[in-house]
Structure 1
Amino acid sequence: MKLAIMQPYFFPYIGYWQLINAVDKFVIYDDVSYIKRGWINRNNILVNGYPKLMNVRLKKVSQNKLINEIEVSQDLNYNNDLLKTIKESYSKAPFFESVFPIVELVINQHEKNLAKYLAFSIKEVCKYLCIDTEIIISSEISKYNELKGQDRILNICKLLSTDQYINAIGGRSLYSNQDFDLSGIELKFLKTLDIRYPQLIHNEFVPNLSILDVMMFNGPVQTNLMLSDYQLV
């Protein structure tokens, strides 16, 4: 059984979805510390040919809280402005009409818990891209929560009868192949290949934007094909 474990992010880049699609079960790691100025509640979209941050507005943010302890502000005016920015930026994209309703559904949801808010968005994008990987919420797993780092990951792997654990390439320094081998688990890292597509602009291609950019310009079928554009190392 192939497993991946990642914190939830706000419409993350395509590598995140490649990871979900590459495994049998994907754990949303919601019971770890929130990281300020990270990518949990924000990502880049294309505005006038350049990357621009979009954010989920939060209340009482603290790195002393877990992700599932952070609250979404539910600022109606802010959300309307965010939707307006996304609409103006992508209204001429070929798949705007099919993607924008997903954006509206996510941003207009009434969920105040950040982890649940993001889990909902992840599941909605998975539906659009026909990803049928089983999604599991970390805080719902009966595990040894006092463990940290790799030890906690290995504990989850064992509880879920994992044969192969796949992580994003950026976390390579966090894990030991030897420790995973001793636990009978193969450790692999997913490296996204160079993915490019027309963005309806004359500027140089802007990579690593939110999955929204990929979906807006490529639609469900072509984006789904891109989910295989990676290497396991």
Structure 2
Amino acid sequence: MRKTVVIHQPDFLSYLGFFHRLLHSDLYIVLDDVQFVKSNNSWTHRDKIKTQNGDQWLTINVKKASRDTNINEILFSDTINWKKQNLDLLKQNYRKAEYFDEIFPYLEKLYSHDYEKLSEFNMASILMLMELFDIKIDIVYSSTLKTTQAKSERLVELLTQVDATHYLSGVGARDYHKDEPFDTAGLKVVWQEFKHPIYPQLHGEFIPYLSSIDILFNCGIKRSREILRSI
């Protein structure tokens, strides 16, 4: 019996392509016990929204931590009221969106909870978006599974423990992917085919690869579900 699995870090308010992968999977392994990386290519503690001046980061402020700290150990900063800043930024830039009144209460509820850790808040954001997109799949945390390897070999260990037959990967992983461990384990690697849809947006020319909340604000829950399933 086929069982398709996605493995991905718990990113903040992820973009549409991530949920496209979940839509075509049976299980999501949350890669929560890997190093938190805060760099120009990091999406774990931030994502982009659209403003009158183009795209802009919506950021979670976190406490400084040593370089080898895992994602599930990262704590929020208590020196900046980032929750209020985020909600104000969202309200400022999406209040004229057609479905603002439908979507904003979900975000207010998300931000109202007193989570201590980044991973907890991020997973709450993912679960919220899964609900809005009507995606129902099982979830397992990598921190609850036993592994001894790294990189591709570790992914294979995780997949084997959940009885996966297929691994659905984003194309960004091609640069460091190795076929041999998957072939040896009898696992089929499937590369995601995702063409970003164009939908109505505020503030001028269309910008792709924003947080999924952009499509929800502009298209609403019903239409966003239809667009995601049409890709």
- Tell me if TM exceeds 0.5: yes
Inter-partner Cα distance in structure 2 for 1:129 and 1:227: 8
What is the TM-score normalised by the length of structure 2?
A: 0.92
Gap runs ≥5 in structure 2: none
Gap runs ≥5 in structure 1: none
Q: 1:228 to 1:182 in 2, by over 3 A?
A: farther
Name 2:185's counterpart in structure 1: 183
Task: Provide, for residues 160-188 of structure 1, a one-character-per-residue CA deviation record: whole Å limited to 9, x for no partner.
Answer: 00010001111112223343122111101
Inter-partner Cα distance in structure 2 for 1:194 and 1:121: 21
Task: Provide, for residues 104-145 of structure 1, a one-character-per-residue CA deviation record: whole Å limited to 9, x for no partner.
Answer: 12223211111111111111111111100112221122x12x
Cα distance, 1:207 vs structure 2: 0.9
Inter-partner Cα distance in structure 2 for 1:98 and 1:62: 40
Inter-partner Cα distance in structure 2 for 1:204 and 1:196: 10
8 A contact 1:167–1:190 mirrored in 2: yes
What is the TM-score normalised by the length of structure 1?
A: 0.91
Q: Which residue identity is paired with 1:23? A: S
Q: CA RMSD in A?
A: 1.6
Inter-partner Cα distance in structure 2 for 1:62 and 1:99: 36
Q: Which residue identity is paired with 1:11? A: L
Cα distance, 1:205 vs structure 2: 0.8
Correspondence list, 1:99-178, <5 A: 99-141=103-145, 143-144=146-147, 146-178=148-180
Q: State the identity as a percent.
A: 26
- Farther off after superposition, 159-168 or 115-124: 115-124
Task: Provide, for residues 52-96 of structure 1, a one-character-per-residue CA deviation record: whole Å limited to 9, x for no partner.
Answer: 111011012343100011101255733212211101111111111
8 A contact 2:29–2:139 mirrored in 1: yes
Give the SS at the match of 1:198.
coil
Give the SS at the match of 2:191.
strand
Name 2:37's counterpart in structure 1: 35
- Farther off after superposition, 155-164 or 129-138: 129-138
8 A contact 1:192–1:229 mirrored in 2: no
Inter-partner Cα distance in structure 2 for 1:76 and 1:98: 28
Name 1:70's counterpart in structure 2: 74
Q: What is the count of residue pairs matched by the alignment?
A: 227
Q: Which residue identity is paired with 1:109? A: H
Following superposition, which runs of at least 4 residues in structure 1 exceed 6 angstroms of deviation? none
Inter-partner Cα distance in structure 2 for 1:14 and 1:74: 30
Give the SS at the match of 2:168.
strand
Inter-partner Cα distance in structure 1 for 2:28 and 2:213: 20
Structure having the larger proportion of residues in strand: 1
Q: 1:65 to 1:229 in 2, by over 3 A?
A: farther
Give the SS at the match of 2:192.
strand
Inter-partner Cα distance in structure 1 for 2:208 and 2:58: 16
Task: Provide, for residues 192-233 of structure 1, a one-character-per-residue CA deviation record: whole Å limited to 9, x for no partner.
Answer: 2031111133x2211111111011111222222233355xxx
8 A contact 2:32–2:119 mirrored in 1: yes
Correspondence 1:223 to 2:224 = yes
8 A contact 2:61–2:80 mirrored in 1: no
